[in-house]
């Protein structure tokens, strides 16, 4: 499946169960990275608008660029009341934005899907002089508790292409080579989600590498998820822990 279509059948789960970004991470963008309430920002690979909403709430002008029609429609429905919101059918490699039209580019949970060379050229075209790129991920922790370790093993066992599309395949060396030499800065923040079994199932099915009903891996995966939940939950809940990673700099 084309990477731009991978989430078309997962939009509902994505909207309901994917995490937002911690306040501290958004504060960091405005207090340290230089984003302002009057900034013109392009959120590229904007998906269902999770990060766009946080930027709009700060007053910034957001041009959300998303190639997937279903995800773009979900964002438009959620964010239509914000006067500073613009939705654009485009991609990281062909945004459709004018030359030198934005002060910042943000990419949340998306950079690992891009053709990096083509995206870098496009970003340079649309950024204003001195503009910056900010890459964000909510990186799920894979160790530290029996639940986190069991969930990671479940993905390795039943995930369709987990090892290939996992954003952790983007090394620090790749990130350093994307930015202008000497400009990349980074920060990390902690956050978590609390799930009962229904919401844990929804969170799993929001991932592109999770098999869907009808796939031979689906039923055994859900059986193992139930067993994992039953032995890991405390008072009917499990903790899905993340490290929010932020990388930013000039191109």
Q: How far apart are CA 230 and CA 161, in angstroms?
A: 26
Structure tokens at 88: 């654009």
Structure tokens at 152: 């990671």
Give the chain's length: 251
Structure tokens at 169: 């395949």
Are 7 and 109 within 8 A, CB to CB?
no
Q: Where are the beta strands (DSSP E) in 168-223?
A: 185-195
Q: How far apart are CA 233 and CA 16, in angstroms?
A: 21
3-state secondary structure of 115: coil
Structure tokens at 168: 């952790």
Structural domain harbouring 33: 3-249
**What is the total count of domains within the chain?**
1
Q: Tokens 């844990």 map to which residue?
A: 200
Neighbours of 188 (CB within 10 A): 12
Roughly what angle, to the nearest 10 degrees, separates helices 50-57 and 69-79?
Answer: 30
Q: Residue 239 is part of a domain; what is its CATH number?
A: 3.40.50.150
Q: How far apart are CA 92 and CA 110, in angstroms?
A: 9
User: pLDDT tens string for the chain (251 positions)?
Assistant: 444 545 556 688 888 999 999 999 999 999 999 999 999 999 999 999 999 999 999 999 999 999 999 999 999 999 999 999 999 999 999 999 999 999 999 999 999 889 999 999 999 999 999 999 999 999 999 999 999 999 999 999 999 877 655 555 688 899 999 999 999 999 999 999 999 999 999 999 998 889 989 999 999 999 999 999 999 999 999 999 999 999 999 99
The dihedral built from the CA positions of residue 126, 247, 16 and 205, taken in this order, carries a sign that is positive
Three-state SS for 74-132 is: HHHHHHCCCCCEEEECCCCCCCCCCCCCEEEEEEECCHHHCCHHHHHHHHHHHEEEEEE
Q: What was the pLDDT predicted at 168?
A: 58
Q: What was the pLDDT predicted at 7?
A: 53
Query: Angle 77-43-175 (CA atoms, 0-180°, nearest 5)?
Result: 145
Chain centre to alpha carbon of residue 158:
22
């Amino acid at each position: 499946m084309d990477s731009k279509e991978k989430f078309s059948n997962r939009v509902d789960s994505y909207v309901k169960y994917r995490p937002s970004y911690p306040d501290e991470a958004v504060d960091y963008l405005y207090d340290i990275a230089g984003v302002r309430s009057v900034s013109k920002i392009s959120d590229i690979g904007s998906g269902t608008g999770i990060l766009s909403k946080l930027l709009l709430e700060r007053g910034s002008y957001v041009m959300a660029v998303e190639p997937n029609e279903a995800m773009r429609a979900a964002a438009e429905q959620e964010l239509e009341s914000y006067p500073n919101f613009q939705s654009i059918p485009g991609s990281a490699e062909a945004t459709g934005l004018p030359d030198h039209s934005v002060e910042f580019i943000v990419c949340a949970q998306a950079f690992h899907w891009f053709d990096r060379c083509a995206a870098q050229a496009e970003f340079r075209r649309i950024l204003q002089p001195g503009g910056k790129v900010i890459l964000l991920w909510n990186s799920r922790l894979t160790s530290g508790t029996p639940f986190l370790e069991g969930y990671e093993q479940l993905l390795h066992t039943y995930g369709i292409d987990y090892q290939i599309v996992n954003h952790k395949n983007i090394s620090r060396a790749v990130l350093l080579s994307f930015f202008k030499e000497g400009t990349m800065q980074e920060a990390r923040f902690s956050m978590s989600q609390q799930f009962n079994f229904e919401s844990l199932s929804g969170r799993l099915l929001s991932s592109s590498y999770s098999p869907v009903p009808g796939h031979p891996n689906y039923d055994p995966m859900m059986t193992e998820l139930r067993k994992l939940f039953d032995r890991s939950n405390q008072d009917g809940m499990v903790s899905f822990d993340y490290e929010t990673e932020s990388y930013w700099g000039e191109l």
